[in-house]
Structure 1
Amino acid sequence: MTRNDLLLAIFVMAIWGFNFSMIKMGVTDVHPLLATAARFTLAVVPAIFFIRRPSVKWRYLMSYGVVFGVGIWGMASWSITAGLSSGMSSVLLSSNALISMAVGVFIHKEAASKRKVMGAVTALIALLVLVSATNGNVTVQGLLFIAIAAGSWTVMGMIVKGSKTTHAFAFNVWGMLFAPIPLVLFAISLYGADIVFDAVRVWDTKTTVAVLFQAYPTTLFGYWVWNRLLIRYPLSTTAPLTLLVPVFALVSGYLMYAERLSSPQVLACGMFLVGIGLIVKPAKEKWRTGPKVSVS
């Protein structure tokens, strides 16, 4: 990877990590389901008018929107208001790699290498320490929401794979079209229509800044850059970079909200990232030139 591309990739990982602190800012007063709906509304409009719809069936776009919007980011945002620190939410969301591995092994009967098994065991031990050594930054309800988010990430991957799309960025933008309405309807079904009026009433500048950050730098710019990097470099080069996201999330959570980890949690975070790294790093393969996906 060239120096400029590496710096750009690290910059995007920093944005994605800092995003968890911005989520916390945005859901302080407004319910996370509604704040997430606003995020995806802004990310879609007006971008969707300038990006051609990918040639996939509508059911894939619709299911992607619901899973990506409600299942992943709706639940991840809710986990923060339910008691998880923003940094811990980011770390635990990375457990989607463990869930994906389990689905592959137990459902699809895929073979797991010794390296992946070692990574899974390391990550699981680290997770137990992270949860048991809490200093108030982990709650049962928060764990439930982030577990749903991590599981939804695996489902999202299955949807994208099933669609056979070759236009990843366009698929992401058009799929997000189907995220806002389910998020709003879900919130109304739980709390009634008054929750929307309450959100409008308490909406302030901080909420606006947080939602704008999530919509544009995080979603549109971040995914655009990431898909361009996937075209230029093999997965074995790009995938490990995502482990920087929890690191930046923990740092930003400390700087913005004075979020702290207990000493055992600090060690467990390191163990967890090492374990996930062993899982996500693909086996060595020859780098074949030519694009893997298109960002158009």
Structure 2
Amino acid sequence: MSVKDMLLALCVVVAWGVNFVVIKLGLQGMPPFLLAGLRFALVAFPAIFFVRRPAIPLRWLVVYAMTISFGQFAFLFLAIKLGMPAGLASLVLQAQAFFTLLLGALLLEEMLRWNHIAGMLIATLGLFTLATAGMEGQSAAGITLTTMMLTLAAALSWGMGNITNKIILRNRNVPVMSLVVWSALVPVLPFFACSWLFDGGSIVVSSLAHISLQTVLALIYLAFFATIIGYGIWGNLLSRYETWRVAPLSLLVPVVGILSAVLVLDERLSVQQLLGAVVIIAGLLVNVFGARLSQRLTMRTPS
């Protein structure tokens, strides 16, 4: 990978890591479902007038959008609104990698290797460490059983979206931006409907009438920088380089998320929460690099 492309990839990683802090700031002035609906409305409009609709059946576009967009961000925004720390949310959400592997094995008959299983077990131990830290009286830090389960539900939705994406792309060449832009159109009305139903019409109208500059800037960042520009660059890199060169860089997203949350939101981790975070990162590393490292060690071992 060239130096220029490596810097572009790192810019995307930073944008996606800071994304969780921006969500936290945006939710300070707007209900979660309304914020998510506006975010995807800005992704879809006016881009749909310039990006061709993906050549896939409508049902698959809807399934993809309702899992990776509606499901993921409905659960994630609600978890952060209820107090889930932005930094730890960026880390727990990476459980999507393991959900994707499990769903791939169940639905697509893909093979699970030893490093995948080991990585899942290690990461599960880390999640348990985080969850028990909250339940033992540190709920002021935002980690409760509810926020943890909501964040994991977001990760599961992301994993389901990944599988749908794999099915869509299996026999079709669909441009990444085409899928991102047109799928963003689908969850807008469901998000607005959920906000009207759960928050009430008066809250929705008041939030829109008195929208703050902080919320507007958050929406611009979420829609254009984190979504359109971020996915555009990432998709371009994946199209020009092997997956193994690009995908592992996403492991830096929770690192950026935690650091930015410390710097901007003054979030602090307890010793047990920090331990849980380290264990989860270890599980992700084993999942991604375990097989490759094992092969190298085997090649170096004299027969």
**TM-score under structure 2 normalisation?**
0.88
Distance 1:104 1:158 in 2: 7
> 1: distance between equivalents of 2:117 and 2:283?
9
Aligned residue among 216, 222, 234 for 1:226: 234
Q: Deviations over 1:147-179 (max 9, x none)?
A: 221110111112212223422221111111112
Aligned to 1:289: none
Distance verdict in 2 for CA 1:69–1:199, change over 3 Å: farther
> Residue type of the partner of 1:206?
Q
Q: Which moved more, 1:186-195 or 1:165-174?
A: 186-195
Q: Counterparts in 2 of 1:1-296, with a 5 A limit?
A: 1-106=1-106, 108-134=108-134, 135=138, 136-164=141-169, 165-166=172-173, 167-281=175-289
**Residue deviations 1:244-278, cap 9 Å, x none?**
11011101111111101112322322221121233
Residue ranges of structure 1 left out of the alignment (5+ in a row): 285-296
Q: 1:281 to 1:175 in 2, by over 3 A?
A: farther
Aligned positions, number: 284
Aligned-pair RMSD on alpha carbons? 1.8
Q: Is the 8 A contact 2:131 2:145 kept in 1?
A: no
As a proportion of its length, which structure holds more helix? Answer: 2
| Deviating more after overlay: 137-146 vs 36-45 | 137-146
| Shift in Å, 1:63 | 2.3
Give per-residue Cα distances to partners, 1:195-236, cap 9 Å, x unaligned: 321221341110001011001110000000000110111111
Q: What CA distance in whole angstroms lies between the structure 2 residues aligned with 1:36 and 1:78? A: 10
The one-letter amino acid paired with 1:276 is L
- Code of the residue aligned with 1:275 in structure 2: it is G
What is the DSSP-based 3-state SS (H/G/I as helix, E as strand, rest coil) of the residue aligned with 2:29?
coil
Give the C-alpha shift of residue 102 in structure 1: 2.5
CA distances 1:1-20 after superposition (whole Å, capped 9, x unpaired): 11111111111100000010
Structure 1: distance between partners of 2:50 and 2:289: 35
Kindly provide the CA deviation profile for residues 63-121 of structure 1, in whole angstroms up to 9, marking residues without a partner as x: 22222332011221111011101111111111111222222345555432122222111
SS across alignment from 2:203: helix
Amino acid at match of 2:129: V
* Aligned sequence identity (%): 30
Cα offset, 1:283, TM superposition: 6.0
Q: Which deviates more, 206-215 or 90-99?
A: 90-99
Structure 2 unmatched ranges of 5 or more? 293-303
Aligned residue type for 2:157? S
TM-aligned CA distance change 1:143 to 1:232, over 3 Å: same
- Deviation, 1:144, is 2.5
**AA matched with 1:89:** A
User: What is the TM-score with the length of structure 1 in the denominator?
Assistant: 0.90
SS at match of 1:125: helix
1:238 CA displacement: 1.1
2:104–2:163 Cα contact (<8 Å) kept: no
Cα pair distance change 1:65/1:102, threshold 3 Å: closer
Q: Contact conserved, 1:37 with 1:180, CA < 8 A, in 2?
A: yes
The Cα of 1:23 is off from its aligned counterpart by: 0.4
